[in-house]
Amino acid sequence: MKKIIHNMRKAEIFFAAGLVVFLAVFVFVSWSETRKEPSALAAGQGIDVLGWIWSENTGWISMSCQNQGVCATSDYGVLFSHTTRESSGYAWSDNLGWISFNAADVVGCPSGSCTARLDPNGNLLGWARVLSSIGEASNGWISFSCQNGGNCAISNYQVAAAGDGTFNGFAWGDVVPGWISFSDDSDGTPGPSIYEARLAPEAPTVTPTGTSIIYCTDNRVPIFNFTYDLSNFYNMQSYEITVTKIGDILPVATITGNIVRLPGETQSVTYVGTTLIRGESYNWNVKVTNFISQDSPVTEMAGSPDFFIEVNRRPVVDFTWSPVFIVPNLDTLFTSTGVTQCFTGDILRDCTSAFGDTFFWDIADSIYQGTDDATVADPTVQFLSSGDKIISLSITGDNTGGPCTETKNSGELNVNKPIPEFQEQRP
């Protein structure tokens, strides 16, 4: 009997031990399933999100393994693509487990476009998902904007990235995480020293795209064109352009100003500085600075030299007309003499055929009078109808190049209807 009892107790011990092992394996498998390590994030795929966010119900959520220096053992993080501005990767919560920002995990979201993304204004749209809650009542959905469901009139919430790269605002995670703050520990609970979510610093880049020169003015001003990217999502603040004469070390001018164009658009900057020397060649470079004072690499315009200042001055064209009040079928005199400028070397003079300067007028809807035609300096014409007119004059200097053209648009020149004539009639 004792042997039987002993064997029964032994069996109970083995059963209990087996049950413990089974439960341990079950818990481990379940834990492993919910804390599945995300695949490593390849460098250069996008801009990392650093820092922490705060759930009112479940506490801190880490946006990157860099927050605690655990990337060697748990390589996770959230990032945004340089090109599409869409999210990928994972955040981690000790209470919720993995929160996915991957497009594949948010397919079938409740409404709107599913993949989380930053729009051009820095608003974060779309959804993330708590993987451990899939299949439960809330299904783990986290919405970053009331625009996802079009319910902003009921609950106006929005997560957005400011110009300095820090996030602000609230996301909504239903009954489990509740409201999630991206920039504030809402109940004052002590937490990580860096609690706001922010885009990782990354130097901007700038690309010079060309140099254009307005030769048909007295000072031949170059215009520098460049674009910049928003790969780091920090708004650009300013530019600095340096112009140097070929063969010199010190620049002839440094031009600074504020960025006024959007990413990908051409920013054009007109030269301001010491008068550039005719017959000389110049190079220029540019850098841009964002709102957190990060400079792009100094980038030089491709090719050497970048631009050349012509030796000769081109004509500076202008013209007038008389009478100012123009009517059809009456003479109108267009005058360039005295208001145009041509050059012989550095000597300023009127443009005239006597020096070999050539003229070409484009006066639509008119007939030249007498022996005048489109090649004289001061033609007389009669317009055939009333209405707005566009007139242009092109002049090529004898040895100064061209042509240079001046155009007067419809806002400046209008042919009026004839003044009515009154005749007295007997009653």
Q: What is the DSSP track for 225-282?
A: EEEE--TT-PPEEEEEEEEEETT-SS-SEEEEEE--S-TTSPEEEE--SSPPPTT-EE
Cα(128)–Cα(162) distance, integer angstroms: 20
Confidence at residue 347, expressed as pLDDT on a 0 to 100 scale: 81
Higher-pLDDT residue of 300, 217: 300
Average pLDDT over residues 138-149: 89
Closest CA to 108 of 79, 146, 134, 77: 134
Q: Given pLDDT bands bounded at 50, 70 and 90, which one contains residue 116?
A: very high
Strands 123-125 and 159-161, by their bridges, are: antiparallel
Confidence at residue 67, expressed as pLDDT on a 0 to 100 scale: 87
The CA angle 261-265-268, to the nearest 5 degrees, is: 65
Cα(200)–Cα(285) distance, integer angstroms: 27
Confidence at residue 242, expressed as pLDDT on a 0 to 100 scale: 96
Six token digits for residue 419: 């003044």
Confidence at residue 184, expressed as pLDDT on a 0 to 100 scale: 63
Confidence at residue 364, expressed as pLDDT on a 0 to 100 scale: 87
Q: What are phi and psi of 414, to 5 degrees?
A: -135, 130
Would the CA dihedral through 59, 63, 67, 73 be positive or negative?
positive
Burial of residue 180, with CB atoms counted within 10 A of its CB: 0-12 exposed, 13-18 middle, 19 or more buried: buried
Q: Given pLDDT bands bounded at 50, 70 and 90, which one contains residue 218?
A: low
CATH of 320-415, one of 1.20.120, 2.60.40, 2.60.120, 1.10.110: 2.60.40
Positions of CATH 2.60.40.10 in the chain = 206-308
Model confidence over 14-52: pLDDT tens digits? Answer: 444 444 334 333 333 333 333 344 444 433 467 889 889
Q: What are phi and psi of 31, to 5 degrees?
A: -65, -40
Burial of residue 219, with CB atoms counted within 10 A of its CB: 0-12 exposed, 13-18 middle, 19 or more buried: exposed
Higher-pLDDT residue of 408, 284: 284
Q: Give me Rg for the CA atoms of the chain.
A: 37
Higher-pLDDT residue of 137, 396: 396
Cα(24)–Cα(197) distance, integer angstroms: 36
Q: Is the pLDDT of residue 103 over 70?
A: yes
The residue whose two tokens read 């489990």 is 176
Model confidence over 235-284: pLDDT tens digits? Answer: 778 999 999 999 999 999 999 999 988 878 899 999 998 888 888 999 99
Burial of residue 26, with CB atoms counted within 10 A of its CB: 0-12 exposed, 13-18 middle, 19 or more buried: exposed
Cα(128)–Cα(107) distance, integer angstroms: 10
Confidence at residue 269, expressed as pLDDT on a 0 to 100 scale: 95
Cβ of 45: how many Cβ atoms within 10 Å?
A: 13
Model confidence over 368-380: pLDDT tens digits? Answer: 999 999 999 999 9
Confidence at residue 41, expressed as pLDDT on a 0 to 100 scale: 43
Confidence at residue 298, expressed as pLDDT on a 0 to 100 scale: 92
Q: Given pLDDT bands bounded at 50, 70 and 90, which one contains residue 98?
A: very high
Q: Given pLDDT bands bounded at 50, 70 and 90, which one contains residue 4?
A: very low
Q: What is residue 316's three-state secondary structure? A: strand
Higher-pLDDT residue of 251, 296: 251
Q: What is the CATH number of domain 206-308?
A: 2.60.40.10
Confidence at residue 425, expressed as pLDDT on a 0 to 100 scale: 61
Cα(325)–Cα(332) distance, integer angstroms: 9
Cβ neighbours of residue 151 under 8 Å, at least 6 residues apart? none
Closest CA to 296 of 241, 334, 249, 336: 241
Higher-pLDDT residue of 5, 351: 351
Confidence at residue 48, expressed as pLDDT on a 0 to 100 scale: 87
Residue 415: alpha-carbon gap to chain centroid: 44
Closest CA to 196 of 162, 146, 236: 162
Higher-pLDDT residue of 8, 73: 73
The residue whose two tokens read 């996301």 is 171
Residue 245: alpha-carbon gap to chain centroid: 31
Q: Is the pLDDT of residue 219 over 70?
A: no
Average pLDDT over residues 199-206: 79
Confidence at residue 24, expressed as pLDDT on a 0 to 100 scale: 39
Q: What is residue 392's three-state secondary structure? A: strand
Q: Is the pLDDT of residue 312 over 50?
A: yes
Average pLDDT over residues 68-82: 89
Confidence at residue 291, expressed as pLDDT on a 0 to 100 scale: 75
Confidence at residue 35, expressed as pLDDT on a 0 to 100 scale: 38
> Highest-confidence range of 183-192, 229-238, 409-418, by mean pLDDT?
229-238
Six token digits for residue 334: 């267009």
Average pLDDT over residues 138-144: 87
Cβ neighbours of residue 311 under 8 Å, at least 6 residues apart? 278, 279
Q: What is the mean pLDDT of the chain?
A: 80
Higher-pLDDT residue of 233, 317: 317
Cα(134)–Cα(109) distance, integer angstroms: 12
Q: Given pLDDT bands bounded at 50, 70 and 90, which one contains residue 400?
A: low
